[in-house]
């Protein structure tokens, strides 16, 4: 078998059928999924996945955080496995593809290798990471975080949902608290196929996004304090209108991001105006800022420019500015990225390098294993939404790239 | 007695004592008042007021809306009375002066005339208008509105508070549903002393505001529709960020008002951002606009300019714009205004013409009787707030102007 082997492609119809079959578990009336972490629906899709992997001849292991590892033996089973991971849990009003295609494309890779009767040198493991979404138990990417040493297991176990139920109790309840310690296994590499959750690939008509890393992200909270006063009897020059100052800030924040294009982005997503009454000049405004850029230095520059612009926009009003979260950029493994690039080229798929704007399990796994991701377009860049749509051809293309990149990595590791 | 009669002044200490005495009825811990319309506290202050007026020799009449008319006989009791009216009800966390000083200055005028043994030609009536504030039963200025024919009595009776209690039932409960039909009495003139509820007089160190009218006011509701998208994976040029467009609108609205200074004012007081999540580009924003100007033509121009500016700021985003309220400007009676101006000059009080930014009972009464108002400064322009503060000297000056303006009007009406 060579790179140009025409048989080196997954069975697209089978892959799509798996996606549609699992999409019945937690299906919503409007065509989406509600499959919250550690819910009964999560248990049912896990059961489905374990059975499918066992039928494909895999050994299934569950670790203490409920992460599922389905292992297909390699020629040298002492080598660390090449992993294909993503998540089967969804948002409460999520789509059918976010996370799901990454796990099921992994399963399809296993089935394809069986059909081709191809034995890899290293074992292949398909992984379902627990609680990527974080909608039920915050924070997101909890179990991949524990795996990578970002959180400890005790912290994860004690997370509670809105009804007060503990993560660990729910893990036991659905029967997915395994014996193996979480993080106690070395991975030779980790690949993740995912929808882009953004509009770039669709707009440029690229089938494959070669993901070179994850943006750095910083969150801020800002409060502008003016003075609330009567909307009728306070002349414009005598006002201390917190919303007018905040509006200048919103625009300045957008300007900072545009000045650091094309990668810099900045979002004011949440605004609270006080007292929020039609006939009262706003006395104070609270808002949030989300700043992202793939490079730490640029992100620091953007922060400094935002602070400067806000102070200028505040004028004589008081302002508090606080950084509440800092997630440094992740740069994916060069050889894994090269393997994806080569695979996309081998298939002739239109592709481009892209930086992930959102968080993924791969961002944490990159700390402990050579990692990268493959993106495919989603309609209008929409995700976390029941209306999420992905073309079958794009999912199949992504799975083909995944298959080739995994095999290329297997070859390279053996050669190395 | 002449205009320059040095005795022509109220008893400031007595007036202040009345204000402080009634301020015990519904007093809040933080120095304000909670005396909602038709509450037990409202009944107590009404009882106090009726008794004080009767002790001053007045005849007290209550109409079917609970408006109280305390009448001091004139030489010619067939003439329509010269009225002095305002309100004793307050906001739930209101101050001690808003409305109250207008009624109690009226009482002080009666007492002063008694002390001077001065008989006016026309009768003088001091009026407490029911439900000026509208905090418990919307809308505001309900009973003066019925008196002026803006609302009918049935409409007023059926207003309900948040607990579902009807206006009429509460009026009966506190014993203030009178026999006289509301609006069934002609007034020769109507004067109202009130705090400015704005910062202009204080900033210019003027003791008296000669109120020439009430601004026209228009309210609007605007919705900007973009598309919510992922804050990390949506590049700036591909966003349809409703908040960025709204921010441009907020600034443009302020610019329109400033271009129509010094009287034009515009306020964006209420903002709702959707989905209002830190890491989601806002898909839609709802906000309100309050536009005011003393002249109808200019207000219409301001509206047209705002519409134009909003459409420009919206760019490719969708926008809905709806006018939800239109309150035309009120121009007060020229002779009443002249009487106030002359009275302020006679006392040598620093004064200026001013247009009321807020609504007052006088705005409705102006439809059925020659009317004007007298403003006195309040600290920092603050009202509708327990921290409302007014200098005793300013209230006394206002009452002195009121007394002289009433007597001047009495003289003029007799002469005419």
Q: Whole-angstrom Cα distance, residue A83 to residue A416?
A: 18
Contact A198 B243 (CB under 8 A): no
Among B217, B232, B246, beta carbon nearest to A358: B232
The maximal CA–CA distance of chain A, rounded, in angstroms, is 83
Q: What are phi and psi of A140, to 5 degrees?
A: -70, 160
Does B269 sit within 8 Å of A276, measured CB to CB? yes
| Contacts with A198 from chain B: Cβ below 8 Å | 229-230, 232-235
Q: Tell me how many degrees the CA angle B241-B244-B246 measures, rounded to the nearest 5.
A: 105
Do A214 and A296 form a contact (C-beta atoms < 8 A)?
Answer: no
- CATH number for region B3-215+329-415: 3.40.630.10
Average pLDDT over residues A374-396: 93
Report how far residue A363's alpha carbon sits from residue A375's, in angstroms, rounded to the nearest whole number.
14
| Nearest chain B residue (CA) to A239 | B199
- The hierarchical CATH code for the domain B216-327 is 3.30.70.360
Residue bearing tokens 């082997």 = A5
Q: Residue A341's pLDDT is what?
A: 98
Report the sign of the C-alpha dihedral through residues B101, B106, B109, B115, in that order.
Answer: negative
Q: What is the pLDDT of residues A267-298, one digit of tens each?
A: 999 999 998 988 889 999 999 999 999 999 99
Q: Phi, psi at residue A94, to the nearest 5°?
A: -90, 180
Burial B124-139 (b: 16+ CB within 10 A, else e): bbbbbbbbbbbbbbee
A395 with A349: CB under 8 angstroms? no
Of A217, A243, A258, the CB nearest to B268: A243
What percent of chain A has a predicted confidence (pLDDT) above 70? 98
What is the pTM (predicted TM-score) of this model? Answer: 0.85
Q: Tell me: the pLDDT tens digits for A146-201?
A: 999 999 999 999 999 989 999 999 999 999 999 999 999 999 999 999 999 999 99
**pLDDT tens for each residue of A209-250:** 999 999 999 999 999 999 988 899 899 999 999 999 999 999
3-state DSSP assignment of residue B12: helix
Distance of CA B40 to the CA centre of its chain: 23
pLDDT at residue A385, as a whole number: 85
Residues contacting B389, CB < 8 A, separation 6+? B95, B378, B379, B380, B382
Nearest by CB to residue A265, choosing from B232, B268, B359, is B232
Digit-coded pLDDT (tens) for A10-30: 999 999 999 999 999 999 999
Q: For residue range A105-145, what is the model confidence (pLDDT) as tens digits?
A: 999 999 999 999 999 999 999 999 999 999 899 889 999 99
Residues of B in contact with A265 (CB under 8 A): 231-232, 234-236
| Chain B residues inside the 8 Å CB shell of A244 | 250-251, 254, 268
Chain A partners within 8 Å of B227 (Cβ): 380
What are the extents of the domains in chain A? 3-215+329-415, 216-327
Task: Measure in Å the smallest separation between the Cα of A111 and chain B Cα atoms.
Answer: 32
Residue A4 has pLDDT above 60, yes or no: no
Which chain B residue shows the shortest CA-CA distance from A238? B199
Q: Read out DSSP for B48-102?
A: HHHHHHHHTT-EEEEBTT--EEEEE--SSTTSPPEEEEE-----TTB-SSTTHHH
Whether A322 and chain B come into contact, CB under 8 Å, resolves to no
pLDDT, averaged per 10 consecutive residues of chain B (416 residues), comes to 66 98 96 96 98 97 98 96 98 93 98 96 98 91 97 96 95 97 96 95 97 95 94 93 98 98 95 91 96 96 98 97 92 98 97 94 97 97 89 98 98 85
What's the confidence (pLDDT) of residue B123?
Answer: 98
What's residue B277's pLDDT? 86
Neighbour tally for B398: CB within 10 Å: 29
pLDDT at A402 > cutoff 90? yes
Going by C-alpha positions, the residue among A411, A222, A206 that lies closest to residue A321 is A222
Tell me the HSE value of A183 on the side-chain side, using a 13 A CA sphere.
17
The three-point CA angle B56-B60-B66 to 5° equals 135
Instruction: Tell me what pLDDT residue B7 has.
Output: 67
Predicted confidence at residue A325, as pLDDT, reads: 86
| Total length of chain A | 416
Instruction: Report the SS3 class of residue B372.
Output: strand
The reply to whether residue B230 touches residue A254, judged by beta carbons under 8 angstroms, is no
| Chain B 5-24, residues with CB within 8 Å of chain A CB atoms | none
**Number of C-alpha atoms within 13 angstroms, CB side, residue B362?**
34
* CA A22 – CA A42 distance, rounded (Å): 11
Residue B407's pLDDT is: 97
Q: What is each CA distance from A213 to A94, A192, A371, A409, B337, in whole angstroms?
A: 24, 12, 9, 18, 73
Q: Is A327 on the interface with B (CB under 8 A)?
A: no
B303 by DSSP, 3-state: which? Answer: helix
ipTM of the complex: 0.85
pLDDT at A364 over 60: yes
Q: Please give, rounded to a whole number of angstroms, the shortest distance from the CA of B227 to a CA of chain A.
A: 10
**DSSP string across B336-350:** HHHHHHHHHHHHT--
pLDDT confidence bin for A415, thresholds 50/70/90: confident
Q: What is the pLDDT at residue A6?
A: 59
How far is Cα A411 from Cα A405, in angstroms, rounded to an integer?
10
- Partner B contacted by A278 (CB < 8 A): yes
Nearest alpha carbon to residue A46 among A179, A186, A221, A178: A178
Is residue B168 a contact partner of residue B70, using CB atoms and an 8 Å limit? no
A229: closest CA of chain B, how far (Å): 7
The answer to whether A329 and A295 are in contact (CB under 8 A) is yes
């Amino acid at each position: 078998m060579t790179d140009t082997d025409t048989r080196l492609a997954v069975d697209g119809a089978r892959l799509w059928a798996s996606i549609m079959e699992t999409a019945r578990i937690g299906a919503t009336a409007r065509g989406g999924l509600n499959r919250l972490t550690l819910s009964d629906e999560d248990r049912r899709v896990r059961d489905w996945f374990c059975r499918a992997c066992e039928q494909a001849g895999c050994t299934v292991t569950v670790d203490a955080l409920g992460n599922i590892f389905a292992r297909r033996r390699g020629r040298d089973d002492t080598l660390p496995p090449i992993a294909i991971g993503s998540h089967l849990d969804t948002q409460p009003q999520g789509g059918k593809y976010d996370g799901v295609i990454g796990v099921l494309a992994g399963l399809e890779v296993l089935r394809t290798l069986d059909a081709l009767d191809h034995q890899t040198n290293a074992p292949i493991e398909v992984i379902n990471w627990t609680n990527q979404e974080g909608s039920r138990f915050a924070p997101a990417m909890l179990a991949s975080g524990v795996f990578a040493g970002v959180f400890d297991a005790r912290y994860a176990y004690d997370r509670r949902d809105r009804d007060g139920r503990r993560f660990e109790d729910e893990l036991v309840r659905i029967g997915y608290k395994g014996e193996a310690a979480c993080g106690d296994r070395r991975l030779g590499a980790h690949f993740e196929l995912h929808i882009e959750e953004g509009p770039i690939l669709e707009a440029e008509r690229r089938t494959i996004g070669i993901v070179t890393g994850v943006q750095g992200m910083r969150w801020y909270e800002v409060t502008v304090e003016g003075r609330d006063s009567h909307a009728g009897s306070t002349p414009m020059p005598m006002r201390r209108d917190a919303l007018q100052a905040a509006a200048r800030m919103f625009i300045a924040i957008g300007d900072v991001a545009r000045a650091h294009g094309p990668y810099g982005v900045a979002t004011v997503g949440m605004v609270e105006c006080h007292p929020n009454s039609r006939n009262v000049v706003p006395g104070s405004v609270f808002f949030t800022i989300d700043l992202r850029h793939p490079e730490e230095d640029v992100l620091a520059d953007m922060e400094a420019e935002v602070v400067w612009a806000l102070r200028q926009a505040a004028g004589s009003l008081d302002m508090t500015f606080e950084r509440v979260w800092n997630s440094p950029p992740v740069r994916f493994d060069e050889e894994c990225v090269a393997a994806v690039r080569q695979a996309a080229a081998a298939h002739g798929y239109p592709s481009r390098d892209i930086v992930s704007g959102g968080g993924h399990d791969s961002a944490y796994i990159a700390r402990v294993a050579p990692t990268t991701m493959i993106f495919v377009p989603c309609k209008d860049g929409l995700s976390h939404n029941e209306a999420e749509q992905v073309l079958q051809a794009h999912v199949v293309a992504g799975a083909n790239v995944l298959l080739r990149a995994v095999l290329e990595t297997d070859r390279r590791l053996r050669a190395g």
